[in-house]
Amino acid sequence: MHWAMVGWSHHKTPVEIRELLAFSNEQVLEANQRFKDRFPEAESVLLSTCNRVELYCAANEAIRLPASEDLGRFLADFHGFPYGDVSSLLTSLAGRESIQHLFTVASSLDSMVIGEAQILSQVKSAYELACNGRSASALMHQFFQKAATVAKRVANETDIHKRRISIPSVAVSEIATEFFERFDDKRILLIGAGEMGAETLRYLVDSGAQTITVVNRNAQRATELAAVYGARTADWDQLLDEVTVADLIVSTTGADQHIVQAASLKSARGKRGSQAVLILDLAVPRDFESEVAQLPDVYLFTLDDLQQVCDRNRQARQEQWPKAQYIVQQETDKFLAELIHRGSGTTIKQLRQQADQVKQQELKRLQSKLSARDIDPELEKDIEVSFDRLVNKLLHPPMKSLRENADSNHHASLIDALRRLFQLKD
């Protein structure tokens, strides 16, 4: 069995070129079908994400595996893109390297953000699309099933996925969840209806948040976002009233100055006798005056505070990388050994069957001659044992060579030579 991978990724290829070479799901299906028509004796899986376009291929015989240039041209030609313009950016891997690369990708060790969670589902989806497009069969099934197993080991045996590194995820998992035991009974206020706040709210809703109010200068945007989370809205001029009754505030406006002053907040809280409040000020410039943090029962975290946590978590993920990569190398060795065992098992079985058949024929011929001479049955038994030993000794050297070269590049050629020399048929 032979393997290859070609593609363009964030390591060498600018995003503007990756965008031109990217495939939608519909295009992936069509490309898989075209591949099968053009290379009927090979299998393929096409993986296309925002960071990579990679084509994985496999064939039972090396001569059936398309050349790297042919694969690269196939991808570029699909989009009518001149292959010569991107050939120098193409990554081409074969054999063990291509296998280890997929395992590394599936485990999120090759991503722009190490440990990001989306890539494994994208790898699984790519394999499913290849099955639907008839370009993936038994070889790719083994390959991609193993990739999922490797990714699961990395996730279970390292902390590489356990540290959050985006501002919204850290805001919830590292700050809010330590401040509150639960969110279903908390009043949450979102100031600003931008992407940062919406993503933070998504994490909070996933953690059980139910009572949410959205305030934004543009009331229409507030209404649209509130509809997504089943939240209510409030007018911008009610901002201070909403701030004083909230348990958790996420602020993400694009204002060029503070929208909440320490003095006004202190006065409002004093009149209402407000409880403790956690404020996640994710705006740049900051929405809350820094002196707000000095007020009783007010806990203010700014973007800088969260960024420090993100940086620490990113470093922690990096420290887990060697351990994760070791798992990938282990599983690559194991996968190759399994392939070799499957590939050589049939040949060894055929060789032994053929040798046993020859032995039985010669033994039967000899026994028919000896029976006319009234030979002692014990001697006949000794002769049969000697034949068995002779066959085993003759087969021992080639079997030993196969074992000693099981992990080398020569194993496939040895199997081929063995089949040719002993005229073994499929």
The active-site residue, picked from 50, 57, 131, 310, is 50
Nearest to 85 by CA among 28, 10, 16: 16
**Is the link from the previous residue into 285 a cis peptide, with omega within 30 of 0?**
yes
Q: In this structure, is the dihedral angle defined by the CA atoms of residues 364, 365, 366 and 372, taken in order, positive or negative?
A: positive
180 touches 329 (CB < 8 A): no
Backbone angles phi, psi at 69, to 5 degrees: -65, -40
Nearest to 214 by CA among 237, 230, 198, 191: 191
d(CA 34, CA 417): 35
131: annotated active-site residue = no
d(CA 154, CA 151): 5
Q: What is the 3-state secondary structure (H, E, C) of 26-67?
A: HHHHHHHHHHHHHCCCCEEEEEECCCEEEEEEEECCHHHCCC
Q: How many residues does the chain have?
A: 426
d(CA 104, CA 154): 10
**Residue 205 host element (H or E):** helix 195-206
Pairing of the two strands 248-251 and 232-234: unpaired
Q: In this structure, what token pair is assigned to residue 347?
A: 């040949």
Instruction: Give 241's contacts (C-beta < 8 A, 6+ positions apart).
Output: 234, 268
CA distances from 163 to 74, 92, 209 (A): 39, 32, 22
**Residue 280 host element (H or E):** strand 277-281
The residues that are catalytic are 50
